[in-house]
Structure 1
């Protein structure tokens, strides 16, 4: 049996436009992703096929990675939340696996990201937005970078943290953390220590109610169809205690549901990130193309 061509693997004609190829690639990546019932072998075939076609047809512009304002939703997109079973799994992060880079450093045709930047764990830093700097936000983001560096990046060698990412349709993401083909988007807020109950919409502390900052990852998921993307809101305490504030979910606000955001204190966030990123099919892989596109979106 002859080996299928890259075009046959993606299910497109050799005469297809680059936009059609991109859409077919995102469909195929989503269909073969190990997180969504596919196989790692087929997923790698799709990745390699798209890379081979890209080399033949000139590398894609980084600006085309994100969906443009006013553009119709891309075909094949179906948001899917992180499997609830992973929250109960005793599986430990696969931190002992050696880091692999896709494409490999020996692939001279890949020029989007240097070896030095591919090996760099933290990209970007807290910056002011607009004309005025919000010192409280800058301090909060710096504390988050320190938290993730000490408690996640040192456990998952292939994890890469990109800070200050412009969202595809406007707005910002404080932090984006990737490992393998999973991506965690993290925005932050600060609340006084104490006990809070979360009903899926607001945090209640006595008679006071606070709504976590709203942000959407749907356009980001469409832009990175090969990734399993999840959103997290980190609630920090002014006193630096990772276990404060205490956040308890109502019964009808299970964070495994697609409609309920993950709102966590620092200790909870570290635990969930290790589970989500570390239990992926290939947590030891650095997807250099995705990292390059995220860096391009840094503001």
Structure 2
């Protein structure tokens, strides 16, 4: 049996336009994504097919080549209902496999970061926004970078952390951490130690109500179809205790529900990120296209 061509894998004609190929890719990536019930092998096959048709580094061996570099694929699926399964799943051993780069580092292109940048694990730093800097926010973000580097990235060699990004619509993301084809968007806040009850909307501490930062990841989901994008809010303790403040979810406010955000203290975030990123498809892969797109969004 002959090997199907990239056009056949994506279900498009050799005369298809770049936009038609992107649409077909979005459809195929959603259908084959392991988090959505697909096959990891089929998902990788779809990734390779799209990269071959989108590759500008060398002449293509197909009937058509494209004059403009392809941006990161778009899409929008919310994989939050699958978090519950992740919480009960052990970290996959393949997270510790040698780091792979897709496309390979041997493929050079103006649209792809070079070897030095791809091997860099932390990109960007806390930056002031606008005319005035917020010292407490800058310190909080620096603390988060240190937390992620020492407690999550140390066990996920392919994880890449990008800091200080403009969101696709408006506003900002403090941090984006991705490994393989899963991506965590993380914003932060600081609260006094104590016990907090979270109802899916506000944190209640005695008679005091606090609403976590509101931010949307729909734009990221549209831009990164190949990724399972999930939002997290990290609540830091003023004294650096990873287990404070204590956050308990009330009934009907489980973070596995699509309508409820993940609001966690440092210890909880470390645990969830290890499970979420480490048990995803190909957690030892660095997606160079995704890294390039994220670096473009740094301010």
Q: Same fold (TM over 0.5)?
A: yes
1:57-136 matched pairs, under 5 angstroms: 57-58=66-67, 60=69, 64-65=71-72, 77-81=76-80, 82-91=82-91, 94-108=94-108, 111-136=111-136
**Cα deviation digits, residues 90-145 of structure 1 (max 9, x gap):** 44664431111111112245751100111100000000111111111111000000
1:190 CA drift (Å): 0.5
Give the conservation status (yes or no) of the 8 Å contact 2:11–2:24: yes
| SS at 1:234 equivalent | strand
1:160 CA drift (Å): 0.3
Aligned-partner Cα distance in 1 for 2:10–2:149: 37
Aligned-partner Cα distance in 2 for 1:137–1:175: 13
Aligned-partner Cα distance in 2 for 1:29–1:217: 19
Give the conservation status (yes or no) of the 8 Å contact 2:73–2:226: no
Structure 1 residue runs without a partner (length 5+): 68-73
1:247-286 matched pairs, under 5 angstroms: 247-286=247-286
Change (3 A) 1:66 1:125: farther
Q: CA RMSD in A?
A: 1.7
Give the conservation status (yes or no) of the 8 Å contact 1:27–1:225: no
1:255 CA drift (Å): 0.4
**Cα deviation digits, residues 192-243 of structure 1 (max 9, x gap):** 0110000000000000000001111112111111111110000001111111
User: Which residue of the partner structure matches residue 220 of structure 1?
Assistant: 220
| SS at 1:83 equivalent | helix
Aligned-partner Cα distance in 2 for 1:161–1:276: 15
Give the conservation status (yes or no) of the 8 Å contact 1:185–1:230: yes
Mean alpha-carbon deviation: is it higher for 95-104 or for 283-292?
95-104
Aligned-partner Cα distance in 2 for 1:286–1:59: 23
If the length of structure 2 is used for normalisation, what is the TM-score?
0.92
1:5 CA drift (Å): 2.0
Give the conservation status (yes or no) of the 8 Å contact 1:93–1:275: no
Give the conservation status (yes or no) of the 8 Å contact 1:93–1:274: no
Change (3 A) 1:11 1:38: same
| SS at 1:186 equivalent | strand
| SS at 2:47 equivalent | helix
1:72-221 matched pairs, under 5 angstroms: 77-81=76-80, 82-91=82-91, 94-108=94-108, 111-221=111-221
User: Which residue of the partner structure matches residue 61 of structure 2?
Assistant: none
Give the conservation status (yes or no) of the 8 Å contact 1:94–1:156: no
Aligned-partner Cα distance in 1 for 2:91–2:77: 27
